Chain A
């Protein structure tokens, strides 16, 4: 039943979805790693990023400009959402609740999530949006007799890989990355050494939000945008981040791929389990590694 061809096709199918999930989960993970805050409103960045990118896309189409401009517009909208929405949220709200009880953090970010959901409806209405330029521009490629869209098969995963590699590089090999790592390890010690921890928090949050928004912008190229789309992604990205171990970037990539691949294989072999797969994977991983796949031993701070 399970042939090499099935596995190959399933892998190709799972790639685009896994890549999108990765973008959202890695942002969530990064924010948790540095700020130690579980941001329930994270899925909203994904949704707002998608809506802003779609609005740009529709504007570009209406103005009669080259449809290729939708790609830079996606990056632009991701940065915009991360800096404006993410930045405002961090400065106005999250700053006040670092180090508070986790229940409080969950409640506050959940409230933010609800507010942002309603804000999306107020701005974009409830009508599903989609832009067909990105998907249509690149056409299809035929593999094993199956047509794949180049956008979903190559572009979206490629961006995800670029994101993963640059994040790794920045965190491991740049001054900024070392500062972020230092703040993550010990905020007080880093501050004593002259690091402006408040700024690092803000920057990290904006970057994390931008990555999620970019995931949404990429999704807007192939998915209809509807109210409530952020909620589904929030839940899934939590599953990925938990499977990977909160704060683990490479782990998020592996876990997102596992979920993408698992879902595809399920559609081939047991369509009934399609919805269950991400949580089944999470369950199995956490059963054997309660801290997640890529967790490291942590010394408890008093």
Chain B
């Protein structure tokens, strides 16, 4: 049957590898890196809470392919070096089958090469830097959500569609890699859409700054038509609070591309008329799903557990687990094995279509997820003691995501203004 011993050996190895793949483990160990300390734990802890809830749900119905899940959480707040060694430890010593990493783009940039090295499937569940798949070709990493190229473009498109007559703009962004990258991408897109826009100030306050007096004074003096701030968490809350107290929030049109995560906390401090993004189509009052039983049930249960409405990291976590479950099932089916190998799992991710709690996400051939973007404008209604979103536009992923093989900064500079009114953009107005 075999002409040469080498062929026989290959066949034997093939058989053995599929036999290895066929062995169902007792449990599926999932390592999850998330911020449990530091300022970014405003995202990390909701992410962990969501993971706990989702894993309990999965295990209640028998796990994935009948294998129950066991999470191991790693704190991203301990610093990159610590994170890298913990990541290795969880894969090598705790025998994690899959890793979910991370919130911070810096963490993702550090961990993706390690995942490649350890040959462990790695799901980028929340980080936003476009550099991951634009600068590299990774086999073991996959992103189950969009990147900041798509997020910033959607915000810029919403701005020029809803406030077409502005002339001047200022940026106030946190002084760290993501803050600078996001502002850079936003500006490239905006200049392509509106070449005559005048940038009057680019401010980079310290990450975690407790005081924005000077920035606010400058904004009052310059009176830009539009002010963009990609901050999040305590930084955004502090900025809005101090700007609102000095009457600046009503002086210009504000754009907060990550503002969805601060709406509930800011309560009365957030005025109406502010443009808010949800890093994907994430919003607890999503116009398409808010009335759907499954979505409503999740929001209610999450609120019961944490006493807060779910914010985008929660929905990102739901996407990561939905993708994981579907990819395992697809891989088992395609290869006709009870339990797929890591390589079979990674192959299954490519082209996978899955749904977390909001719209369907597709994984592209470069392992980048295609995720729709939701942008809206704040409005006050009596039912909630914080601002909610009105005039919500949903930008389809295909329209706003950098194509395969292009770099976001280059592609955004070639954007045509017409796409701001593309018919594929859906717009909703709050019914109430």
Instruction: Tell me which of B175, B202, B208 contacts A226 (CB under 8 A).
Output: B208
- At the interface, yes or no: A55 with Cβ under 8 Å from chain B? no
B211–A17 contact, CB under 8 A?
yes
Inside 8 A of A148's CB, which chain B residues have their CB? Answer: 213, 217, 246
Give Cα A219 to B41, complex, Å.
Answer: 21
Is B206 a contact of A274 with CB atoms below 8 Å?
yes
**Stretch touching chain B among A90-98, A180-188, A227-235, A289-297:** A227-235
Query: What number of A residues sit within 8 Å (CB to CB) of B?
Result: 47
Stretch among B135-143, B233-241, B275-283, B324-332 lining the A interface:
B233-241
Interfacial chain A residues near B45, Cβ < 8 Å:
125-126
B245 in complex: contacting residue of A15, A149, A227, A274, CB < 8 Å: A149
Count chain B CB atoms within 10 A of each CB in A146, A222, A224, A227 and give the residue with the most: A224
B184 within 8 A of A: no
Query: For residue A232, which residues in chain B have a CB less than 8 angstroms away from its CB?
Result: 206, 208, 210
Q: How many whole Å from B341's CB to the nearest CB in chain A?
A: 38
Q: Is the CB of A149 within 8 A of B246?
A: yes
Does A130 have its Cβ within 8 Å of any Cβ on chain B? Answer: yes
Could you tell me the distance in whole angstroms from the C-beta of A269 to the nearest C-beta in chain B? Answer: 11
Decide if B218 touches A267 in the complex (CB within 8 Å).
yes
Known: A13-B217, A121-B37, A267-B218. A228 touches B208 (CB 8 A): yes
Alpha-carbon separation in the docked complex, A145 to B175 (Å):
28
What residue of chain B has the Cβ atom nearest to residue A9's Cβ? B217
What 0/1 pattern do residues 54 to 83 of A give for CB contact below 8 A with B? 000000000000000000000000000000
Asked if residues A146 and B214 are in contact (CB atoms below 8 Å), the reply is no
| Smallest beta-carbon distance B68→chain A, Å | 28
| Interface pair B213/A146, CB less than 8 Å apart | no
Contact A127 B245 (CB under 8 A): no
Interface SS of A by simple majority: helix
Q: Is the CB of A149 within 8 A of B242?
A: yes
Question: How would residues 196 to 219 of chain B score, 1 for a CB under 8 Å from any chain A CB and 0 otherwise?
Answer: 000001111110101101110110
What is the minimal beta-carbon distance from B206 to any residue of chain A, in angstroms?
Answer: 5
Q: Which residues of B contact A10 (CB under 8 A)?
A: 214
Point out the residues of chain A lying under 8 angstroms from B238, CB to CB.
130, 222-224
B25 at the interface (CB under 8 A from A): no
Residue A298 at the B interface, CB < 8 A?
no
A14 & B41 in contact (Cβ 8 Å cutoff): no
Do B268 and A132 touch across chains, with their CB atoms under 8 A apart?
yes
Encode contact with A along B239-252: 1 for CB under 8 Å, 0 otherwise. Answer: 00110011110000
| B241→A14 contact, CB < 8 A | no
Name the CB-closest residue of A to B206. A275
Please determine whether A17 and B39 come into contact, CB atoms closer than 8 angstroms: no
Please measure, in the bound complex, the distance between the C-alpha atom of A112 and the C-alpha atom of B77, giving whole angstroms: 18
- Give the residues in chain B near A135, CB-CB below 8 Å: 241-242, 245
Is B269 among interface residues, defined by CB-CB distance under 8 A?
A: yes
User: What sequence of 0s and 1s flags, for each residue 250-273 of chain A, a beta carbon within 8 Å of any chain B beta carbon?
Assistant: 000000000000011001100110
Chain B residues contacting A299 (CB-CB under 8 Å) are none
Closest to A143 in B: B217
Complex Cα spacing A145 to B246, Å? 12
Give A124-145 interface residues, CB cut-off 8 Å to B.
125-128, 130, 132, 135-136, 140, 145
In the complex, what residue of chain B is closest to A263 when comparing beta carbons?
B214
Tell me which residues across on chain A come within 8 A of B204, comparing CB atoms.
271-272, 274-275
Residue on B nearest A118 in the bound complex, by CB: B37
A-side contacts of B202, CB under 8 Å: 271
Within 214-270 of B, Cβ neighbours of A (below 8 Å) are at 214-215, 217-218, 220-221, 233-235, 237-238, 241-242, 245-248, 265, 268-269
Q: Does B322 contact A (CB under 8 A)?
A: no
Q: How far is the CB of A221 from chain B (nearest CB, A)?
A: 10
Task: Please name the residue on chain A nearest to B267 by beta carbon.
Answer: A132
Q: Does B44 contact A (CB under 8 A)?
A: yes
B403: interface (CB < 8 Å): no
Known pairs A145-B221, A267-B218, A275-B175; A222 contacts B308 (CB<8 A): no
| Whole-angstrom CA separation of A224 from B244 in the bound complex | 14
Contact A128 B214 (CB under 8 A): no
Is A225 an interface position by the 8 A CB rule?
yes
Task: Name B211's contact: one of A132, A145, A223, A275 (CB within 8 Å).
Answer: A223
Pair B42/A126 contact, Cβ less than 8 Å = yes
> Within 8 Å of chain B (Cβ to Cβ): is A20?
yes
Per-position 1/0 for B117-133, Cβ under 8 A of A = 00000000000000000
* B241 neighbours in A (Cβ, 8 Å): 130, 132, 135, 222-224
Contacts of A147 in B (CB 8 A): 220, 246-248
- A263 CB contacts on chain B under 8 angstroms: 214
A225 and B39 CA atoms in complex are apart in Å by 9
Say whether B38 faces chain A, with CB atoms less than 8 Å apart: yes
Chain B residues whose C-beta falls within 8 Å of the C-beta of A233 in the assembled complex = 210
Would you call A229 and B214 a contact (CB within 8 A)? no
B246 touches A227 (CB 8 A): no
Q: Which of A125, A219, A227 has the most CB of B within 10 A?
A: A227
Distance (whole angstroms) from the CB of A212 to the closest CB of chain B: 14
Q: Would you mind naming 21 contact pairs between A and B with Cβ atoms under 8 Å apart?
A: A9-B217, A13-B217, A126-B44, A130-B237, A130-B265, A132-B269, A146-B217, A147-B220, A152-B211, A219-B210, A223-B242, A224-B233, A226-B42, A227-B39, A227-B41, A228-B39, A229-B39, A264-B214, A267-B215, A271-B201, A274-B175
Given contacts A16-B211, A224-B235, 18 further A-B contacts (CB under 8 A): A10-B214, A14-B214, A140-B247, A148-B246, A152-B213, A152-B242, A222-B242, A223-B210, A223-B211, A224-B233, A224-B237, A225-B234, A226-B233, A228-B77, A229-B210, A263-B214, A264-B213, A275-B175
Which A-B residue pairs are the 7 nearest by beta carbons? A226-B234, A224-B237, A126-B41, A13-B214, A224-B234, A128-B234, A267-B214
